[in-house]
Amino acid sequence: MLISRRDALKTGSAAAALLGSDDVLASAQNTIRLGGSVPMSGKESDTGLNVLEGYKVAVKYVNEHLGGVKVAGVAYKLELQLFDDASDPQRAVTLIQKQLDSGTDFFLGSFSSAIVLPTAALTERARRPMVQAGGGADQIFTRHFRYMFGIYPRASRQLVTLVEMFKSMHGQVRTCAIVATNDPFSKGQADGSVEYLRAAGIQILNTYRLPPTLTDVSGVVSDLRLRTPDALICTTHQEDSALVTQQLVATGTDVKLLFLALGPEIPAFRANLGKYAEGLTFNQYWKPTYRFGDPFFGSTANYYNYYTTVTDRKETYHTAGASLCITCYVKAIQDAGTLAPDKVRDALAALNYESFYGQVKFTADGDGDAVLMGAVISQVQPSGLEVVFPPKVATAQLVYPIPNWATR
């Protein structure tokens, strides 16, 4: 809590700094402005602030350690100009327009598809690139936007790795149940996974859909006690993930595998659950122990070291994904050798390089390549967060089934 307060104060001072930097002309000569919005208050601000932190860390690194971005022999500093959209799409659109008016050429994405899509439509029309790490709904990538790139694969493809893992377990997972919230990200994942699960021959006992507003899930949990699947797949956001887990534990409802799309990667989430966090599996898009090289940070480990020295906010894959947005821009600008938005866009579309995050390659529709930039499956284990699938990058064996709640 102390940490987050300090963090909040920092954000406050950053806000003051950003306000001061409204003076465009003075600094226009040698800066590259990165515009966009992030929900810093309101319902989505928990993840929103993680995204913001990732952006800030990478910008700081590029400016302070690389001396900015060199284009045709001139060094440009990066400058973040993000505002708080408070998860209000209308506000986001208006303020993005303001940045377009003032000549911002490059944009970063907000968090949650309901904001990303309308703002991306705007930047698309203005032919300005947007790189985002916060909107996964399929609709964003089926509109043939040419200027928008998302780090994560579209929602319907995000459970591919999980199903691959089930397949590799030789019939240990025969049945599953799905819990999804009725929103684009969550329902999109659930809908998409059904096909893969069927193809893998896994029986789906039930699909539970939760309303977007807070609700009690005791009915779901009782039902699960009666028809217990081997694996419970929750494509839910943090709050619902926490509620489902809490109520499973509180009623001694055991499953052999509990997958939560969002939640366990966040330290506060694990801290709240305490010993019951152990054994939870989740989609891990990035992890500090990866051994990738990176043209800017050098390696994943260096990135992680740098990250922890400049901020107290705990890393999640959202912070890393957001940092990658920045370095993608830097790489693309260097590849293009110009600041012309069209050229940078082409360079982004052509990216195919190894980064601290992994291999970067976008599909023709603009989302992350489902294999190269897709998730690995991690599990909370006593030693920490361990990758358990695919075997190539695994750091530990999957614990299956997970220990009963009551025996912990």
Q: Which stretch binds other proteins (CB under 8 A): 145-153, 179-187, 283-291, 322-330?
A: 179-187
On the question of a cis peptide bond just before residue 118, with omega within 30 degrees of 0, the verdict is no
Q: Which stretch binds other proteins (CB under 8 A): 210-218, 280-288, 296-304, 334-342?
A: 210-218
Taking alpha carbons only, the member of 180, 186, 107 closest to residue 150 is: 107
Rg (CA), the chain: 21
Mask for 42-81, x = binds other proteins (CB under 8 A): xx-xx-xx--------------------------------
Quote the least distance from Cβ 134 to other proteins, whole Å. Answer: 14
Distance from the first to the final alpha carbon of the chain: 26
Told to check if 403 binds other proteins by CB under 8 A, we report no
Told to check if 176 binds other proteins by CB under 8 A, we report no
CA distance 116 to 108: 10
Mask for 15-44, x = binds other proteins (CB under 8 A): x--xx--x-----------------xxxx-
Q: Is 68 left (phi over 0), alpha (psi -120 to 50) or beta?
A: left
Which of 24, 66, 71, 100 is in the footprint of other proteins by CB under 8 A?
100
Rank residues 122 and 347 by Cβ distance to other proteins and give the closer one: 122
Told to check if 1 binds other proteins by CB under 8 A, we report yes
Told to check if 147 binds other proteins by CB under 8 A, we report no
- Residue matched to tokens 């309308």: 118
Q: Which stretch binds other proteins (CB under 8 A): 68-76, 265-273, 290-298, 395-403?
A: 265-273
Number of Cβ within a 10 Å radius of residue 395: 17
* Strand, helix or coil for residue 99: helix
Interacting positions 121-140 with other proteins (CB under 8 A): 121-122, 125, 137-139
- Residue matched to tokens 């102390």: 2
Told to check if 204 binds other proteins by CB under 8 A, we report no
Told to check if 228 binds other proteins by CB under 8 A, we report no
Rank residues 82 and 280 by Cβ distance to other proteins and give the closer one: 82
Largest CA-CA distance found in the chain, in angstroms, rounded: 68
Which of 67, 103, 201, 274 is in the footprint of other proteins by CB under 8 A?
274
Helices (H) and strands (E) in the chain, counts: 14, 17
Taking alpha carbons only, the member of 189, 245, 239 closest to residue 221 is: 245
- Residue 157, CB-side half-sphere exposure with 13 Å CA sphere: 18
# residues near other proteins by CB under 8 A: 88
Told to check if 246 binds other proteins by CB under 8 A, we report yes
**Beta carbons of 51 and 285 less than 8 angstroms apart:** no
Taking CA atoms, 62 is separated from 26, 181, 297, 311, 341, in Å, by 21, 38, 9, 15, 20
Told to check if 108 binds other proteins by CB under 8 A, we report no
Cα 66 from chain centre? 25
Told to check if 388 binds other proteins by CB under 8 A, we report no
Q: Which stretch binds other proteins (CB under 8 A): 90-98, 195-203, 297-305, 389-397?
A: 90-98
Taking CA atoms, 209 is separated from 43, 153, 236, 287, 392, in Å, by 20, 22, 10, 30, 34
Quote the least distance from Cβ 341 to other proteins, whole Å. Answer: 17
Interacting positions 301-320 with other proteins (CB under 8 A): none
Which of 36, 56, 59, 84 is in the footprint of other proteins by CB under 8 A?
84
Which of 86, 148, 336, 348 is in the footprint of other proteins by CB under 8 A?
86
Rank residues 238 and 300 by Cβ distance to other proteins and give the closer one: 238
Told to check if 364 binds other proteins by CB under 8 A, we report no
Told to check if 365 binds other proteins by CB under 8 A, we report no
